[in-house]
Chains A and B, each alone.
Chain A
Amino acid sequence: MASPLLSMDRVTARQHGRAVLDAVSLRLGRGQTLALLGPAGAGKTAILLALAGFLRLTSGSIRLADRDITATAPETRDIAMAFDTDALFPHLPVLDNVAFGLKMRGVPRAARRAQALAALQVLGIGGLAGKPPARLDPAERRLVALARAAVTHPALLLVDEPAASDASANREDARAVLRAALGPDHTTAILATHDRAAAFALAERVALLRNGRLEQQGTPQDLFDRPATRFAAMFTGACNLLPAILLHERDGAAVVNVAGVTAAACCPPGMAAGPVTLCIRPHRVRAEAEGKLRGVVERADFQGALTHVTLGTQAGQCLVETAQPPPGLAPGVALGLDWDGTDAWAIPPEAAS
């Protein structure tokens, strides 16, 4: 990136003696979508509020389009936010809510109402225009909040908990809606969510947060296939974490010892030999009669398309998801685990907290 649209540099914010954000640095190119992923209290919303100008920074700086906005007033930032509380103005009908940002920018009444209606129609909720916010259901309120933020075509759009992460909502629909909101010219956007599926599906880049710190940043594939820490491995999906010893490594290809069995794995280039944690996703590990790592079936749950097999091994319990369970699968049967070297990922021990 020659000159990123947005750059946050070591942004730190303390509240009541606690670091809400701890030296968070992010970069985002024009037209990109970044997802902030993390559990509740990880600092996702704090980053959005810092960007929007509602969180006092202890240190660090924020630049947007080559302008330092660290200390500028919220209304001058050209960053629009769809709040997780939706924060719709209760005294204005939906259309006027959506037109509010345009009104503040001095767009004439007729023009702003037309634009607001168009923004609602893009999200498929043109019919709500005349309703008061109190008569909308939560999903509708979110959509209106999204339309209200997107209609001003801000330099940066922030979405706190997009509807796609709503368990109740139809996720596929919600994703299509968010893409529609970003528009054909693809507004640069940051989404905050605790739902990894939403983050992976909606964003080109994902930043994983934990306790106000940036845990890992990269493409969804980076986070899923090459987690930097045990936390990253577990938060990005189900995984088997097996204690192992790294014997030797060359250009990211490693040989490890798992409970006495020598196996291939991948690791960050230059990783030192010694104890590591091996991360293997359940759908990438095979349970076979002649597998290397021997174990005994503890449970076998047929779940339709996939069968979940829990195997007790010397390296610990291991979950296998397979579409083709071995014949004669039942608790007590001895099986072996096997995997491709590219499907096992070594996590350094210092990060194993």
Chain B
Amino acid sequence: MRRRTWLLLAVMVLAPVAIGYLVFFGAPLGLLGIEHVQRRAGAGSYGIYSGIVLPNTYTRVLTDPLYRRLLAETFRLAGACALVCLLLGYPAAWGLRLAADRLSRSALLGRVAPALVNLTVRGMGWMVVLGEFGLVNLVLRTLRVEADLSRRSHLLNELSELSSMVQVFFPFMVLALYGAVAKIDLSLIRAARNLGATRTRAFFEVVVPLSLPGAAVGVVMVFALATGAYVTVATLGGVKVRAMAETAYQQSATLVNWQLGAAVLAVVLIAAALLLRLLFAGLRRGDRVAAPR
């Protein structure tokens, strides 16, 4: 009887969420699935599906050199962003963890909070520094460095794109890593060093393997966010550096080519899901190796 009451309560609590999820996420996603293989009665309108299958949107996305390059660039950028975040995030998270013993919790929060300012705002913020009329160019111009360099906006530089993405998504990685690293007993580091491990060796032998799940969560989060990154790409990527998320937006919102936009998004979604699955499969295999026979 009690069990049933709890079950009922759980259903009542979860039902609105589930319904909302289906209506506002599941349904559009399903429509998208139809969208990129069907032609509408009138392009861009909400007409009746004509039933004519147009698989060439997919073929176009997958075979057109432009889109293949875009897809590769998107994942390369997201991957690089996740990797850089991971490499920078470990020392940051570990440093925070060591400092946490000395700092109060509020001081710790004070250090993390600024990093959680709205992503768009921080993405835009980079324009002030790297934009055509930004700080860097201003300095270059004042110093009368090669005029060519100053006119060529830094925004178009892939590196500036990457650095801004790293800056924007870095907190997610640090938070994910910190959660894992905070649980590590510091006496384990002592034990490792007592047994002859240097500080660095102890970090790689103890801290890294124990925080691997946190690292995976961080990589997945940053990779997924970076794949879908639209604002930073649009503002900083300029014409030369473009990514799929922006292209999907351009195709569907600006050019009203819904089919292509949908196909682009679907490809990104499926490819990202596959990549993440691979990552988790690898992690689980690692777990099994560490586990006793």
Contacts and interface: CB of A to CB of B under 8 A. Distances in A.
Contact of B195 (A54, A131, A152): A152
A101 B194 CA distance: 8
Main secondary structure of the interface of A (DSSP, over half): loop
Contacts of B209: 91
Given A87-B187, A91-B210, A104-B201, A80 B194 contact: yes
B198 A100 contact: no
B185 interface: yes
Candidate in A80, A88, A89 with the most chain B CB atoms within 10 angstroms: A89
Interface magnitude class on chain B: 20 to 34
Main secondary structure of the interface of B (DSSP, over half): helix
A172 interface: no
A75 B187 contact: no
A52 B194 contact: yes
B277 interface: no
Nearest to B206: A89
Interface stretch (B165-173, B234-242, B285-293): B285-293
B187 A148 contact: no
A90 B194 CA distance: 17
Interface string B146-188: 0000000000000000000000000000000000000001011
Contact of A100 (B187, B195, B210, B292): B195
B212 to A, nearest CB: 9
A149 B190 CA distance: 12
Given A73-B198, A85-B187, A104-B201, A91 B193 contact: no
Contacts of B225: none
Interface string B255-293: 000000000000000000000000000000000001111
Given A85-B187, A89-B206, A75 B292 contact: no
Nearest to A54: B190
A197 to B, nearest CB: 27
A118 to B, nearest CB: 17
Interface in A75-128: 75, 79-81, 83, 85, 87-93, 100-101, 104-105
Interface of B: 185, 187-188, 190-198, 201, 205-206, 209-210, 290-293
26 contacts: A53-B193, A74-B190, A74-B193, A74-B194, A75-B193, A75-B198, A79-B194, A80-B195, A83-B190, A85-B185, A87-B187, A89-B192, A90-B188, A92-B290, A93-B292, A100-B192, A101-B195, A101-B196, A104-B195, A104-B201, A130-B293, A132-B291, A132-B292, A149-B194, A152-B195, A152-B196
